[in-house]
């Protein structure tokens, strides 16, 4: 008889941030909580991964060189129906936050955030 762990598929999360320290922190916290995590150092890499791999959620910084987190949000929604997205920002203007909500962001975290806030947001959007 299969165990509960065998029946429940591991949720896959793509973490996108041009700051290695933030990206690595998010990945460690999520991996310790049992999620399968893939990281991308920028928007272009994230979009390539979204085209070729399946993810349950994306956590992305909004402000990055090249493609922004809003563009990653758009690509995620375009390539994966039902994907959940958490945007993180240290520079959220009201216009940017409204654009994120209209684009389908599920949650927005403001930097600095702590591991508990990150896990709470992810668990809310990806129920077991």
Residue 4 has pLDDT above 60, yes or no: no
Residue that wins the pLDDT comparison between 127 and 35: 35
Q: What is the pLDDT of residue 97?
A: 85
> H/E/C letters for each residue in 28-63?
HHHHHCCCEEEEECCHHHHHHHHHHCCCCEEEEECC
- Count Cβ atoms below 10 Å from residue 124 Cβ, excluding itself: 12
Q: What is the pLDDT of residue 7?
A: 43
Residue 14 has pLDDT above 80, yes or no: yes
**Span 41-59, average pLDDT:** 97
| Model pLDDT for residues 51-89, shown as the tens digit of each residue | 999 999 999 999 999 999 999 999 999 999 899 999 999
Q: What is the pLDDT of residue 3?
A: 44
pLDDT class of 1 with cuts at 50, 70, 90 = very low
Euclidean distance between CA atoms 33 and 52, whole angstroms? 25
H or E stretch at 87:
strand 84-89
Write down all domains in the chain, each with its CATH number in brackets: 4-125 (3.40.50.2300)
Query: For the purposes of burial, counting CB atoms within 10 Å of the CB of 128, is it exposed (0-12), middle (13-18) or buried (19 or more)?
Result: exposed
Question: Distance of CA 20 to CAs 9, 28, 62, 86, 107, Å?
Answer: 28, 12, 15, 18, 21
pLDDT class of 90 with cuts at 50, 70, 90 = confident
């Amino acid at each position: 008889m299969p165990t509960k762990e065998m029946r429940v598929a591991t949720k896959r999360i793509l973490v996108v941030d041009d700051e290695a320290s933030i990206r690595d922190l998010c990945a460690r916290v999520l991996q310790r909580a049992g999620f399968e995590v893939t990281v991308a150092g920028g928007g272009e890499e994230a979009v390539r991964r979204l085209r070729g791999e399946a993810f349950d959620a994306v956590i992305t910084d909004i402000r990055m060189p090249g493609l922004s987190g809003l563009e990653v949000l758009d690509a995620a929604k375009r390539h994966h129906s039902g994907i959940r997205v958490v945007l993180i920002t240290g520079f959220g203007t009201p216009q940017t936050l409204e654009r994120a909500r209209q684009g389908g962001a599920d949650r927005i975290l403001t930097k600095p955030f702590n591991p508990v806030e990150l896990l709470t947001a992810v668990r809310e959007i990806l129920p077991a």
